[in-house]
Every structure is written in structure tokens, then in C-alpha cells.
A and B are shown apart, each in its own frame.
Chain A
């Protein structure tokens, strides 16, 4: 418990530390506000004692003026306290959000198995809940202050009454806190279940097209309903614990305040304090219920903030897959020697600068393993070298090699912003032509994830984007699967023409693309089994012909 509690606590501590100035200024002002509020019942007692009881108009006017002044202090301290604290909370929530995003988008790739919906919850709800600790702290401090001020007032009026407050308050809080772990547990369960409903909703909405394709919307809605009911059960279980706690807390704090009032009443009946003092005691005791309640609720707040901070920490503290890249190779020569990774069992591959190489894997899983390895050089054996340096150690900023993912991701914007992704302003009509994407007009707006384009159009825009990068070594993976044969032929020529003088690897089994390559490397059972020109391979290798020629 304590070991996995630490990461969240560290996040909360840091939130406090880095918002120090606003937080402490806000807290001091919140204290002044709280003292002013604590003095109001005292003033009510004074007014009744000095004015209502005596019938003196002067006293009435004087003390009403004091009341007005007190409200002035109260209002001003509140406004500046709240604004400072809110600014700190908003700032912290924003910083956490950006940190979570930065971690997820880290160039060295974060190691996390959380689904996208979960990450969204962490970046929104959890970042906010964590930042609320900056609200909790001032509340606790000012509530404690209010208790102290009221206690002092009570001590001045009557020492025994003050002692009762000072002794009974901690006893009550300790008693109530016994329930805190149970409540925290239930809240954690509730939040986990809420996270599950969000993750499921995200998953189903993301897969809406395939769902619709088989008319499974009702089945999906039913699946969501089941999870939603589980979340409801968790919410109700947490609500039972919380409200039982709330009821007990109300009862105990009312009993405490009532006890004080009874004692004060007895003192007044036996003439040890005046009527005005009695009212001050009652007012203070009554007023005390609120700060007492705040103090009693703190564990609950803190539990919620910590549960969220734990989740934020699990992302922020997640490891990175790639080491820091320091190597700076001179050429884009790619060499794989005896590489083992997933289905790849000792793969050798050598691509010299300027070469156009086609790679055929008889089993798609092997092609995907190769692409994955070139994208994320992790968890492999053997040598994987770029310009003679280990690939994972090459400084990514050099960008000698560009691996275009097969699954195309376009982003909301324009065709220009999706092709010329770095906004260089260089003319890009040429790559659009080479990728045969002319029909997508140059000023076409691109909707979220390119949803306004067809699959084939998305693929060709992504290809144009890859060509535009003009990387010394370009790796393409099945770039033309959603394109018809005639267009594919044109694209093969387009790639060949644009990549003249640069190295290109096309992992594919498309004859059109393979025919355009200088040489073709064939992978079977994780190793290279054949190599040669496409025409020769098709002429002499039956297996190759069957795999490639359709």
C-alpha cells in the first residue's frame, strides 16, 4: 500500500511546491477571510448584549458599523484569495495535462498499455482532480484557523468551555477518520469503474463503422449497459459509505456544538456568564460545525485527489522504450545482421545508399515485425545498424530514415498541412502527382483523421507526405493496398522517379512496386530465402511467383 502510494503523493507535493507563491498568498488571505467569518457570530452576541439588551441607539449604530467593516474585510480577502488559488488550480491542471501529453508523445516512446480512452480520462478528469489539492490545502488551513479563533473566543469567555472544544474536536475528528480507508477504497473502485465505462465508450465509438457494418450497435449498447450498471453499483456502494460517514459526521459535530451550548447554558443559568456571552458561545459553537465538517471531510477529498494523482503518476513515471540517441551516422546505409525479433529468426538485410529494394515476406506477420523493428528498435537480438551505428542509439533528430506507418493517420487541417507537415512552404504538387493523389484538390480541407477522404485517397495522401519528407532512407509498408491496379502502376513509377539518388525500401508483395525495385529480398520463416530482380525471381522461383503473381 505505502509503496504504490508514493508516486501520487510525489505529484501532489510537487503541485504544492511549484504553485507556492499563489498558494500561500491565497491561503493567508483565506485565513483572514475565515477569521472574519468566525468573528461574525461573536459580533452578533456583542450586538445583542450591548445594544438589543440595553436599548442604546448609539451602541447599535456603532456595532452595526463594525459589522459592515467586518464584512468588507471578509469580502476583499475572499476575492483575492479565491482568485489566486483558482489561478494556481487552473495552472496546475493545465501543466499536468501538458505533461501527460508530452509523455505520451515522447519521441523516445512511452511504455504504457493503457487504452486511449484511459489516457484521455487521465489527461482530463484525473489532471483536474489532482490539481484540486491546491483547493483542499487552503481550506484545511483556514478551517483549522477558524477552529482556533473560535476556541480562543471561547477560552476568553470561559476557560472550561474553551477546553471542551479543544479536547472534543480532535477526538471527534480521529473517530471519524477511522472510516477514511474504507471510503477511499470505495471511491477508488468507483473511479476505476467510471474509467472503464469511459474506455468502453471510447472503444465502441472508435469502432463505430465496423459495428455498423454488422448491425451490432444493439449488442455494443448492451455491452456498455452491463459495464455502466457495474459502475452504478460501485457508485452506490461508495455513496453508502460516504453518506454514512456524512451522517455520522453531522451527528457528532452537532452533538459537540450542542454539548458546548448546553454547558454554556448551564453556566449562564448559574450566572457565570452573561446572556451576550452565552449567545457568542452558541454562535461560535454553531459556526464551528462548518470548519469541523471541512476537517472531517478532508480524508475523503485527499483520497480522491491521491487516487487521481496515482494515475497521473503512472503515466508520468512510465519508462521510455528507446535510449537517448547520441550517435550521428554519416550515411543512410542500413544493415541487419542475424536479427531476431518476434517471427524474425536471424534476418540479414543490407541496403546501400541510393538503392531501391523491395522486401517480400510470405507471411504478413514477418513484414509487420520488420516494420515494427525499424520503427521501434526494441527487444531484438543481433545487429541493426544505420550508417554503422546501432539504430536505437541514432539521434532521432537526424532523421536519416523515415518509416511510414502502413496505417495512415491524417490530421484535421488542410491537404497542405498534412503533406508539408513541418510547414516548410516548399512546393508539393510534385509529390501529389507521384502518389497519384491529384484528385484530392490542393486546397481540400481534411476532416478529423481524414474521414472525408476515401481509404485509397488517405493512403495516397500519406504516401505523398512520406515522399515529401525526402528522407535519405525511406521505408514504405504496403503503400498501395487500397489503390487499383492501374493507379498502382503509376505510383510505382512515381516513387521510383522521386527517390532517384536516395535509398528506398518497399515492404510489399505488390508486383507493380516490386518490378520497380533494383532488387527484391524474400523473407520466409524469419530469414532471407531468396534475392534477385523481380523479373528473374518470377521466372525461376515458383513459390515467389505464387505468392506475388495474382
Chain B
């Protein structure tokens, strides 16, 4: 199994691009037309000037300049307008495709299975949605219009040279294989270098993200130098790899120059011979030489941007790669026939690890609250994740109302874990993630139900206060209350709480327990409890040990039975020293 997210093959990327262009046929055709017009307008002057050369040699009078002047001015005006439209249309086509791509990538990324993302690391995904998207963005707005217009110009100029005299066209075409040889020398060498460069940049990004998100710990331990050292090391590595790629590139430019020299000399020598044999005029040779020289920069641009396009192609492959990854899908889903949560003979192990759960069966009746208790490593969190459909069982099944939890509509089962996140933006918008379009009244009611409305109203801008990264900082307990309020707003029939009250510390935990109880009212609930008060107030308690159910019953029953749960409770109460 790979530790990185998927990268698309060149074929997959091309197929994706073809599909995108096909869905925008008219727009693509319009873009091409404007581009051709711009290219044609810019070859006309050289052609007209060639004619002028012959007029000069023929000793025409000064009036011969007039038609040439008219053509030149017209070509400049048409060329300018066509350039503007061509450039804009190309940028528009490209950025619309890019916008679709990044939106689909994010939608996909958010659906990646939990295990895949944990293995691959968030840095890789973050670098894809930031650095890669901006690399393509730059290619689309800076490179692509120039490259397309250059290619059109090259094609039309060569056609014009052949139009003057096919032998002159052929002489110029001598450069084509040399350009091709240059590319064939360069591209296979550049591709692996670019890949290495990308990986180095992803590594750099990952260590950067980790350091920034862990600044508290970095400061607490005085690890600033150490982390800065690894950022510097990885950044330097990325820089050195980039330099090697560039050294290769300059050798490539030498090959481009060789092609230019050969083509130009060949046009001049052939022109010399043709003029000597009286086949073509000096003006025709001049026009051909000028047309050919006019191509130096645009063709060099194509050759040079080939690597930037390749660069963007590498980024594209990483985005299209995400699009092609398997995701958890809950398209509509099948509505459950009831509200009963069942785990039947469920077994699970993490990749290559020992079994975490072995044939666990449990049943939570509609509206019942069942607490899951056990010592550390008993498999409580795994059982909760399976019940919520975040993990898929290796064998056995998890259902709600007879429907597999992974097939349910999104608003059927909610899980709140101890990992909280406050989403950047107004507080009310954070809640609306659970139900887009919820009214202010509904948002307030949800906050009120979990006892958060009072403090939320006291924030600087009330419910419109910007919270999260860079905004107003909420406490861990407040963040967890928000998580519960989201559940209330979502209003799912089944809820799984995985130590959702743990993060706040015991004093805050009591408030949170009340908030959780309020959020669970009327729902089928599976609650992973470290705090046994939660277990004591649940309808039923299930004790897990080493991945197996060892006890099940109400709190008083289990206490009376004097088993493992009774032991937990004794340890718990002992700390009271009442």
C-alpha cells in the first residue's frame, strides 16, 4: 500500500483534459479562431515588406509605400484586437477548467477515507490544494496564452514561407527536426527531475504545516531551532533539486539555439542559390528570412514553456490523481427503515496490525442510550467509528434500521469525537455546515439546547463573530459545544459520541455532559465514555475488553454482578475519597 496519495498517469490527465474541452466546444472554437487571427495578423507585415524590397529593387516610385503602409496599419490594429480577445478567451477557458478542477478536487479530498488520509499525511493533500493549484493557475494565466499563440504563429509562418517558395519553406523546416531532437533530449531527463522537485516541495510543505500547527509545543520545548533546521534543510534540498533541473534546462536552450542557427543559415544559403539561379527574388528571400527570424522568440517560448507546462502537468497529475481516488460515497443513500443501531459479528484490524475488534455484536434500540466502556486499547473508538460508518468492518456488518451505515444518507448518523475543529468564519456559518440554509432562529435554538447561546451572544459580534484560525479563539469546551450544536442542527436519528466530553477537563466536562445529554435527547445513541458518570446515566452499559464484548447490562445490574465494570466503578469512586 502506498504512503502517498495517487498521482494520475499522463494518459489519465490527457483524457481528463479532452473531456473538459469537449464540454466547452463552442468556447474552445472561439478561442482558437481569435488566436489564429492574431497569428495571421502578425505574419502579414514580413510578407508585405518582402514585396516592398522587390519594389525598391525594381525602382518603383515613392507611392508604392502606400498599400504596404495600409496593410501594416490594418495588421497592427487587427492583431492587437485579436491578441486581446485570444488572450482573454484562453485565460477564461483555462481558469474555468481550473476552477472546476479545484472544486472537484476538494469535494473528492473531503471524501477520502479516513485511513487513506492518515497514512498519506495531510501535508501532501494541503500542498496539492495550495501549491499545485497555484502552479496550474500560473501556467494557465501566464504560459498557456503565449504558448498557444506561439504555436499558431509558427504554423502560419511556415505556411507563408512555403507560399513564397516551397524550397525556402523546406530550408526553414530543416530546423524542425533539430527542435524535436532538442525536446527529445530534454523531456525524458526533465520529467524525473520535476517529479523529484515536486516531492521535495511536498516534504517541505509537510514539515512547515506540522511546525505551524504545533507552534505551542515547539515553543514549550524550545524546539524552534530544531524545526527551523528541518524546514531549512528540506527547503535547501528543494532549492538544489530545482537548480539541477535548471542546469539541464540551459543545456536544452543551447540545443534550441543550434536549431535556430541551422534553420536561418539554411534559409539564407538556399535563398542565395535560388537568387543566383534567378528562381526567386531578393525580396522573397528577405521575407522568408524575416519570417523565420520572427519565429525565434515564439518558438523558444514554446520550447521553454514546455517545461512549465510539464511542471503544471505534474501538478495536474497530482490533482487529477485525487479525482481518481476511491472515496466514500453517500449519494442520497438508502433511507433507514428504523432507528435501531446494530453491530453484528464485526471484526476489524488496522492495516497490517493485530485485530482490534473480534466478532463484536451489539444492539442499540431506538431512542436508547448505550455507553461503551473499557480500558485503554479495548477498541471503543474503533467500534464507534464502525458504527458511524467512518471505518468499514473487515467482516460482519453495522446497520441502522437494517441499512448498512456506509449506505445511509449523510444526515442519518453523526459522530462527535474528541478532535474538535472550529471552522474559520462567522460562528453561525460554522454551525450551518451541518444544515446549510438554517435560519438564525434555528442556529440560536441549537446553541441554546447545548447551553452555548449565552456565551455565543456575548462574543464581540454575537453569532456573526469570526471564529477559528485567525479569528476569535474559543476554548476547547466551547469548541466541543459547537460540535454538539452542529449535531442538534443536523438532527440525525442516531448519534455516536466518542469521548466527546473529554477534552474540556473535568469541570468543563460536567457542563459538556449536560450539553451532550441535551443533544442526545430522543435519539439512538452510542456513547464511548471515559467518565463513568456518563455510563451510569446511560440506559445500558457495554464493556469491551481486547476487542470483545465482555459485559452488557444496566449500571445497577453490572455493579451487582461484580464483574469488570464493577471494578472500574470501584476505581472511579475510590478517587472520590468521600
Contact = CB atoms under 8 A, between A and B. Distances in A.
A121 B506 contact: no
Contacts of B25: none
Contacts of A5: none
A91 B141 CA distance: 25
Contacts of B201: 124
Given A105-B215, A115-B470, A265 B208 contact: no
B222 A279 contact: no
Given A74-B257, A211-B110, A212-B390, A104 B215 contact: yes
Nearest to B292: A44
A421 B122 contact: no
Interface string B103-131: 10011011100100111011101100111
Contacts of B265: 64, 67-68
A97 B235 CA distance: 8
Contacts of B114: 209, 212
B87 A205 contact: no
Nearest to A221: B107
B186 interface: no
Contacts of A323: none
A507 B511 CA distance: 18
A251 B211 CA distance: 51
Interface stretch (A161-169, A229-237, A328-336, A377-385): A229-237
A482 to B, nearest CB: 5
A138 interface: no
A81 B126 CA distance: 35
Of the listed residues B415, B422, B471, B492, the one surrounded by the most CB atoms of chain A closer than 10 A to its CB is B415
A542 interface: no
A261 B72 contact: yes
Nearest to B69: A262
Nearest to A71: B261
Contact of A247 (B57, B87, B261, B381): B87
Interface string A95-130: 001100110111101000111111111011100000
A549 interface: yes
A2 interface: no
B577 A511 contact: yes
A197 B106 CA distance: 10
B141 A235 contact: yes
B62 interface: yes
Nearest to B38: A250
B16 interface: no
Q: Which secondary structure dominates where chain B touches chain A?
A: helix
Nearest to A448: B121
Interface string A61-91: 0001001100100110011001100110011
Contacts of A405: 216-217, 220
B399 interface: no
B62 A485 contact: no
B420 A368 contact: no
B75 A254 contact: yes
Given A102-B228, A275-B282, A452 B118 contact: yes
A282 B290 contact: yes
Given A205-B109, A217-B107, A247-B81, A484 B530 contact: yes
B95 A48 contact: no
Contacts of B250: 78-79, 82-83
A187 to B, nearest CB: 10
Contacts of A549: 576, 578
Contact of B436 (A52, A219, A290): A219
Given A64-B265, A375-B220, A485 B572 contact: yes
B417 interface: yes
A47 B253 contact: no
B91 A482 contact: no
Interface stretch (B269-277, B337-345, B553-561): B269-277
Contacts of A512: 575
B411 to A, nearest CB: 6
B343 to A, nearest CB: 18
Contacts of B231: 97-98, 101
Contacts of B126: 117, 120, 201-202, 205
A179 B141 CA distance: 18
Interface in B498-550: 499, 502-511, 530-533
A86 B122 CA distance: 31
B356 to A, nearest CB: 10
A227 B264 CA distance: 51
Nearest to A436: B376
A283 B212 contact: no
Interface string A473-505: 000011001111111110000000000000000
Nearest to A405: B216
A203 to B, nearest CB: 5
A239 B84 contact: no
B315 interface: no
B469 interface: yes
A355 interface: no
A87 B243 contact: yes
A323 to B, nearest CB: 15
Interface string B175-213: 000000000000000000000000001001111111111
A535 B231 CA distance: 50
A53 interface: yes
A427 interface: no
Interface residues of A, number: 178
Nearest to B82: A247
B83 A246 contact: yes
Contact of B507 (A268, A410, A509): A509
A244 interface: yes
A431 to B, nearest CB: 14
A409 B87 contact: no
A155 interface: no
Given A116-B212, A247-B80, A448 B123 contact: yes
A109 B483 CA distance: 30
Interface stretch (A7-15, A20-28, A394-402): A394-402
B247 interface: yes
A216 B433 contact: yes
Contacts of A210: 416-417, 419-421, 483, 486
Nearest to B507: A509
B418 interface: yes
B305 interface: no
Contacts of B129: 198, 201-202, 205
B167 interface: no
A550 B434 contact: no
Interface string B405-420: 0000111111111111
B285 interface: yes
Contacts of A287: 293
A213 B220 contact: no
B403 interface: no
A442 B53 CA distance: 85
A158 to B, nearest CB: 14
Contact of A375 (B216, B218, B435): B216
A224 B106 contact: yes
A409 B217 CA distance: 6
B141 A397 contact: no
B477 interface: yes
Contact of A240 (B38, B88, B411): B88
Contacts of A481: 418, 502-506, 509, 530
Contacts of B508: 363-364
25 contacts: A41-B293, A48-B285, A67-B265, A82-B246, A101-B228, A120-B126, A120-B208, A205-B109, A207-B422, A213-B417, A214-B433, A216-B434, A219-B433, A225-B107, A242-B141, A258-B72, A262-B72, A265-B52, A265-B68, A364-B475, A412-B207, A439-B376, A481-B418, A484-B530, A548-B507
Closest 6 CB pairs of A and B: A247-B84, A251-B80, A215-B410, A207-B421, A409-B214, A509-B506
Given A215-B330, A266-B62, 13 more contacts: A68-B265, A114-B470, A121-B130, A202-B129, A209-B417, A247-B83, A254-B80, A258-B69, A286-B294, A364-B477, A375-B219, A448-B122, A489-B575
